[in-house]
C-alpha cells in the first residue's frame, strides 16, 4: 500500500535550527508539536510563530517584536505640572 502521511515538525522562525544536530521529532498533530516545543522552552504564539530558546541578539529581537508597543507618555500634561511647581518657588 502506498499512502500519504502528514506529520508536523517544529523549526525556529529565526534560525531554522540550522545549528541543531538532533533529529527533528515528528508529531501527528500540530497541538502536540506546539506543546512539546513549549515544554522545551520554545515560544509558540497563537499565530504559529516559533522561536527557539537560543539567547542571541537575533532571537532576543524576535521576542521583543512579539511584545506590545510601549505606552505613550503624555509629555504636555507633565510639562504643565512642572510649570506649576516652578511658580511656587
* Contact residues: Zn ion, CB under 5 A: 12, 14-15, 52, 54
Closer CB to Zn ion, 14 or 33, in the complex: 14
Closer CB to Zn ion, 61 or 78, in the complex: 61
CB of 15 to Zn ion, least distance (A): 3
What are the C-alpha distances in Å from 80 to residues 71, 73, 83, 86? 20, 14, 5, 10
CB of 33 to Zn ion, least distance (A): 16
Q: What SS3 state is found at 30?
A: helix
Closer CB to Zn ion, 21 or 74, in the complex: 21
- Asked whether the beta carbons of 9 and 26 are under 8 A apart, the reply is yes
Q: Which three cell numbers stand for residue 35?
A: 506543546
Amino acid at each position: 500500500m502506498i499512502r500519504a502521511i502528514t506529520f508536523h515538525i517544529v523549526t525556529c522562525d529565526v534560525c531554522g535550527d540550522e545549528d541543531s544536530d538532533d533529529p527533528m521529532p515528528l508529531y501527528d498533530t500540530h497541538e502536540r508539536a506546539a506543546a512539546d516545543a513549549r515544554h522545551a522552552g520554545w515560544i509558540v504564539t497563537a499565530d504559529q510563530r516559533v522561536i527557539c530558546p537560543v539567547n542571541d541578539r537575533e532571537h532576543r529581537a524576535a521576542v521583543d517584536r512579539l511584545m506590545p508597543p510601549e505606552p505613550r507618555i503624555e509629555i504636555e500634561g507633565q510639562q504643565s505640572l512642572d510649570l506649576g511647581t516652578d511658580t511656587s518657588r
